[in-house]
Structure 1
């Protein structure tokens, strides 16, 4: 229930946004731009309004995403596509693509420690069943090369924890493991 902890913040930000809107409308009706004897420009009021509504939307979206991921999620594999930017500290934002029911979705990760691998090929992604656009990339663990593809509907549990059960495996590699015993 961690996602509900941001509701008081969301309410406060929304009230501030409404307050800024009321100040703008009130000033327009009075045809003046003054508060406490100081002149305030319309652009400052509008800046407050947009900042508060933008912050409120961001918190709402994060709460909605967390709730969707908590209600029902699955795991699948995402394939590396490109570097989509660089953030502070020189960490690359890497974009990955994955498919759910034949529809392609994207995710990004900034995980910096790919053990010297500049372009990791595949990572694990947790996505919300209700809306796969809500997803979380796990860039800190490699997908073994012998795991060729995920099950058609993904995994219900974290794949390494269930030993990649249901995945399409590289049969040649698996036979070589059996031959070594």
Structure 2
């Protein structure tokens, strides 16, 4: 005699992150690997939430991340570089090649708007935004870069640009 199928509950996980946070990128990769190895991953529902670490970063400023952290935290540049080296080493452990020499400090509000506009492609957009920011040295507060990222994951570039040029904060992106 077999046991009747039991309807198991869905686990709801909310992840708050910022595209400008290297630990969020590392955590996203670690979470994805853990979820992939979880037998009941189809019972896990993930909701990505937006959080801006530095909402006051001016859009279009184009300052290297090292300089931005030195100015914001009053830390010596060498200390920031050492910190970045440790983060890069940790990132490499999960297969990420973060290049802080190319990272440009950016206001991530519109990048978060793009992630929320992406609907069921949100995870792909987030991955592409993290890669653009930390690996490729793209300026993720530039609308042209955001449209390019959107197109890379299969979103329509024209409607993406129109949405980003509008005033709608894309709901949760304002959170």
Per the normalisation by structure 2, the TM-score is 0.24
Larger Rg: 1
Bigger proportion of residues as helix: 2
Report the structure, 1 or 2, having the larger strand content: 1
What TM-score, normalized by structure 1, do the two folds share?
0.23
